[in-house]
């Protein structure tokens, strides 16, 4: 069922109260408040609910001083905040009159939007759990889209339900760029945040083996061996940071990561919106993407590609 059919079904249900509608969303993941997928001791989440058509949930798996995020404006990460605002507006524009759901209201909203941020590095002491599969999110879905950037389902229910999880994953930014640059890498392994102690070991390994190599020949040999010792996305980041030991190499990595995300953020958001549009325009029961290269027929990847960082 495409978007026009969904909207028609909703209008008929409001007028006649007879239509079995299919409309929006979500993810049981959102019940992070009761500590399911993410360890709530260290991640932060919030549910904003003020009327009766949609719910917005924000999960930030980084360590913050805030016990919860009271609004989109209170999200600390500017890129993630802009992503939430842009994508939410895009989705809601497809459903005229959609209003935030009423706080403490009974029943499920027709649209449930979840935004998840996964930072590159976490200091939590343990890996953040990967995103659940769509089967785990909504086993009775009639239609679904599964990808590293977005998971979307329309559920089989007496009331319209669309579940959507939008994933702002810093490692996904890096892996996408690595794959587009020609790196061969598995895109099926879940990209979870890396514990800071392990990441520090990665940095030290690269510094000692590559940056402090005794000769150009030794450096070349070390670069070759790095592909077997570091994840592809991390190695792409290290290689695109300034290769300098004048200061801590970790500082160069931080600068490179910020630049990559800033420059690729619009492409990342547009990619997500294209997948939303495709889902609602299509009647295909299941749409699945594993790699950014799979999107070539639906999205112009060049608008997302970073050819040169410096």
pLDDT digits (tens, 9 = 90+) for 287-301: 999 999 999 899 999
CA angle, residues 196, 223, 208, in degrees to nearest 5? 55
Residue 87: name the closest of 65, 129, 56 by CA: 56
CA distances from 11 to 14, 15, 19, 53, 227 (A): 5, 6, 9, 13, 55
Between 186 and 195, the more confident residue is: 195
The residue behind tokens 């030290």 is 204
Question: What pLDDT sits at residue 283?
Answer: 85
Quick one: average pLDDT of 249-273? 96
Mean per-residue pLDDT of the chain: 78
For the ranges 39-43, 80-84, 195-199, 235-239, the lowest mean pLDDT is seen at: 39-43
pLDDT digits (tens, 9 = 90+) for 153-176: 987 666 658 889 999 999 999 999
H helix or E strand, kind and range, residue 157: none
Whole-model pTM: value is 0.79
CA distances from 50 to 47, 55, 67, 86, 195 (A): 10, 8, 20, 20, 36
Per-residue pLDDT band at 112 (split at 50, 70, 90): confident
Per-residue pLDDT band at 128 (split at 50, 70, 90): low
């Amino acid at each position: 069922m495409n978007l026009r059919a969904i909207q028609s079904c909703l209008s008929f249900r409001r007028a006649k109260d007879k239509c079995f509608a299919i409309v929006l969303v979500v993810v049981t993941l959102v019940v992070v408040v009761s500590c399911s997928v993410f360890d709530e001791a260290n991640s932060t989440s919030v549910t904003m609910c003020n009327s009766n058509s949609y719910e917005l949930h924000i999960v930030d798996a980084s360590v913050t001083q805030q016990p919860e995020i009271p609004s989109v404006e209170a999200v600390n990460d500017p890129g993630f905040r802009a992503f939430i605002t842009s994508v939410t507006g895009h989705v809601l524009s497809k459903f005229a009159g959609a209003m935030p759901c009423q706080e403490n209201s009974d029943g499920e909203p027709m649209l449930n939007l979840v935004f998840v941020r996964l930072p590159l590095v976490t200091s939590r002491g343990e890996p953040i759990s990967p995103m659940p599969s769509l089967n785990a999110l909504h086993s009775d879905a009639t239609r679904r889209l599964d990808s590293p950037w977005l998971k979307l389902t329309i559920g089989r229910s007496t009331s319209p339900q669309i579940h959507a999880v939008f994933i702002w994953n810093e490692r996904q930014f890096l892996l996408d760029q690595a794959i587009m640059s020609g790196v061969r890498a598995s895109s099926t392994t879940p990209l979870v945040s890396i514990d800071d102690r392990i990441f520090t070991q990665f940095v030290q390994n690269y510094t000692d083996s590559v940056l402090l190599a005794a000769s150009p020949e030794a450096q070349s040999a070390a670069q070759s061996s790095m592909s077997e010792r570091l994840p592809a996305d991390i190695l792409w980041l290290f290689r695109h940071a300034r290769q300098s030991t004048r200061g801590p190499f970790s500082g160069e990595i931080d600068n490179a990561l910020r630049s990559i995300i800033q420059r690729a953020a619009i492409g990342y958001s547009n990619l997500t919106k294209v997948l939303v549009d495709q889902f609602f325009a299509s009647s295909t029961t299941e749409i699945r993407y594993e790699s950014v290269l799979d999107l070539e027929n639906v999205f112009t990847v060049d608008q997302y590609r970073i050819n040169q960082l410096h």
